[in-house]
Structure 1
Amino acid sequence: MLTAVSPPFSAVARAAGSRMTPWRVVQGTYRRFGAGLPYLPDPMDPPLEEHQKDLGALYGLEFRSDFDFGSARRNTLCEMAEAMLPDLGHDVDEVDLVVLARQTPDADFRRSVACWLNWRLPLAPTPVAVSDQGSAAGFTALRMAHAYVTSAGLRRALVVLADQTSFAFDAPSEQVPATDAMAAFVVEPVDPDDRALPACVLPVVPDHVASAASQLWQRVPTPLSETLVVVGPGIDPALFTGAAQVVTAEPGMPSTGVWGQLAERRFGLPYAALIDFAPGPSLLSIALLDVTDLRRGDS
């Protein structure tokens, strides 16, 4: 887990000077889900309710007063991923790495979606996951994909971002999504020999977000007039002068926000810059993507 105490602003300037390059998005899809299945009956023994109570007791936590396993419903990450796989077509059959990004725990943590995808996909892709970074998790996932692909001889990665609303315990309001949703992208480097990063995650104090975002935008190597900018809520769209188009992601979707916006809509531009700020860990993130060949799954 990356935790951040904001450094001197000069550190942001140095990080912004790092060379970046877009990664190609081959396929992308985004879905919202309804109420899901009931928790009960639970075919496994011991049941999930017992697991949850035991884990909560370790931290002195009790179930929310309004949460009842007998009436609550949920979408597990595995159920959402299974529903989305057909949207990704045959492109997903060629991935050799899976990176899951999420803010909240799985409604049923007894099945790991990253490991399930390792079992489900033909090349048995290496499964890794990142969490506890708010909206920065997806950007860190892309950085992790870069690290694995460039150092381990891999070719393609599947980056999965998930939001989930079912909580047995109280959670900070900024961590609770508005609805269950999942976004997934098949990505690969445009040039396998280019080691420049496709994403950057910086610790930034809230008062410096606008200045830091402006600096990052000035370093974007793609033609600005051909670049779509998708920003998270709270980031001023006016900062990104020269962009072909600037859109703001809807609030209340800490993991899928800007990514879902990209996958859900057809913008017709060759490049995309995704920029978001996670207030909890105070992380400002940017990702550069080549979406020229992006094929979007049905949503």
Structure 2
Amino acid sequence: MFSAAPPPPGGAVSGVLGLTRLARLAFPSPTGPVLDALNTARLDEYLRDLLSSHGLGPAAADPAAGGESYGEMAGELLELAVPEQEPVDLLVLAYSIPDISPGHSLTARLSRQCPGNPLAFAISDQGTAASFTGLRLVRQYTRDTGLHRAVLLVVEQALLPYDPGVPVAVPDGHTGVALVFSDDDAPSSADRPVHLGSVVTRAGLPDEALPREINTLCADTQPVTLILSAALADRVKAPDVDRLRTAQVGQPFTGVWWELANELSLASDTPHRIVLGDYDPQQSCLCLAALEVGAAGEPLSVGARSALTAEPLPADA
């Protein structure tokens, strides 16, 4: 019998974790197994078997119509974000809408594809909190073990082929963002340091408590850029900050990370803080993360293209 476990403690770092590379991809049309007729038929049978016990059925005759495989998306992201000469030790995949290709062990496959053959696992069933949980896990693993470089993949695809019984924000398209982190001893693709600061997830918060939590991370003498998801922007009046960005409504899961790529592609000669905020209404869960951005050097190298056309995306797409 084969068993796997996290690496043993040892080689812990100082706790300072830098964002060294960021890549984002849009997938205008489905690719890979979604286009395979046999795979589509198997998916239809799989869904009908699972849903029949609840008196439900697939919402569409073709369950793969409009969907995209996270395996295909994540593979493209890894090619763009993780060079062969900079292998990673840890891979975390975060998503909310289920994968349209459930017939394989996705993280095991991605571990084999990723330079470094990293320890890999996925986070789901947390709504929009999954990506912020991923940040916390990345920091904990790099702090307490001998893992020095990690990649967080945040992905969403635009098909939910059944009625989940509760309101769900389904994306307008297929997008993914990869964030590569390392300790200070690892090489960076940018001279300007970008360090991960506080990461907060608080469930069960009433709406009146949201501004207070956001202000806590934004309250500082240094310039602050606030990036809010569409769901959170609908609930709070943003505090007085130097710059405010709001994610697209059609990107309920990747939106704040997409806007982060826009922000980090800008030049700045002043140290500043970037605060990302998201909100899951089903859990009344507020998610916040802070990045401390240094002044020296060039903007972080942001890989951005369409996986279909390989054309560059606009700087503020």
Residue 177 of structure 2 corresponds to 183
Tell me how far 1:77 sits from its aligned partner.
Answer: 0.3
Q: Is the 8 A contact 2:63 2:161 kept in 1?
A: no
Q: Which amino acid aligns with 1:216?
A: L
User: How do 1:267-278 residues align onto structure 2 when only pairs under 5 Å count?
Assistant: 267-269=266-268, 271-278=273-280
Tell me how far 1:185 sits from its aligned partner.
Answer: 0.6
Q: Is the 8 A contact 2:228 2:245 kept in 1?
A: yes
> C-alpha distance in 2, partners of 1:87/1:240?
35
Q: Which amino acid aligns with 1:114?
A: T
Matched, 1:63 2:58: yes
Q: Residues 286, 191 of structure 1: CA spacing in aligned structure 2 closer, same or farther, 3 A cutoff?
A: farther
**From 37, 46, 54, the counterpart of 1:51:** 46
Residue 14 of structure 1 corresponds to none
Residue 168 of structure 2 corresponds to 174
> C-alpha distance in 2, partners of 1:232/1:43?
34
> C-alpha distance in 2, partners of 1:112/1:63?
23
> C-alpha distance in 1, partners of 2:256/2:85?
21
**Percent of paired sites with the same residue:** 26
Q: Residues 145, 277 of structure 1: CA spacing in aligned structure 2 closer, same or farther, 3 A cutoff?
A: same
Q: Residues 198, 126 of structure 1: CA spacing in aligned structure 2 closer, same or farther, 3 A cutoff?
A: farther
Tell me how far 1:148 sits from its aligned partner.
Answer: 1.4
Q: Residues 252, 298 of structure 1: CA spacing in aligned structure 2 closer, same or farther, 3 A cutoff?
A: closer
Matched, 1:26 2:28: no
Q: Which amino acid aligns with 2:181?
A: V
Residue 113 of structure 1 corresponds to 106
Q: Is the 8 A contact 1:200 1:286 kept in 2?
A: yes
Q: Residues 122, 205 of structure 1: CA spacing in aligned structure 2 closer, same or farther, 3 A cutoff?
A: same
Secondary structure of 1:174's counterpart equals coil
Tell me how far 1:183 sits from its aligned partner.
Answer: 0.7
Matched, 1:228 2:225: yes
Residue 162 of structure 1 corresponds to 155
Residue 75 of structure 1 corresponds to 68
Q: Is the 8 A contact 2:155 2:176 kept in 1?
A: yes
TM-score w.r.t. the length of structure 1 is 0.79
Gaps of 5+ in 2: 1-14, 187-195, 306-317
TM-score w.r.t. the length of structure 2 is 0.75
More helix by share: 1
Q: Is the 8 A contact 2:19 2:179 kept in 1?
A: yes
Matched, 1:100 2:64: no
Gaps of 5+ in 1: 1-20
Residue 202 of structure 1 corresponds to 202
> C-alpha distance in 2, partners of 1:182/1:208?
30
> C-alpha distance in 2, partners of 1:77/1:290?
30
Q: Residues 237, 248 of structure 1: CA spacing in aligned structure 2 closer, same or farther, 3 A cutoff?
A: farther
Q: Residues 284, 92 of structure 1: CA spacing in aligned structure 2 closer, same or farther, 3 A cutoff?
A: farther
Tell me how far 1:99 sits from its aligned partner.
Answer: 0.9
Q: Which amino acid aligns with 2:51?
A: G
> C-alpha distance in 2, partners of 1:92/1:135?
32
> C-alpha distance in 2, partners of 1:53/1:92?
44
**From 282, 302, 317, the counterpart of 1:296:** 302
Secondary structure of 1:103's counterpart equals coil
Q: Is the 8 A contact 2:17 2:184 kept in 1?
A: yes
CA RMSD between the two structures: 2.9
Q: Which amino acid aligns with 1:295?
A: S
Tell me how far 1:79 sits from its aligned partner.
Answer: 0.8
Q: Is the 8 A contact 1:135 1:254 kept in 2?
A: yes
> C-alpha distance in 2, partners of 1:103/1:155?
27
Q: Residues 279, 43 of structure 1: CA spacing in aligned structure 2 closer, same or farther, 3 A cutoff?
A: closer
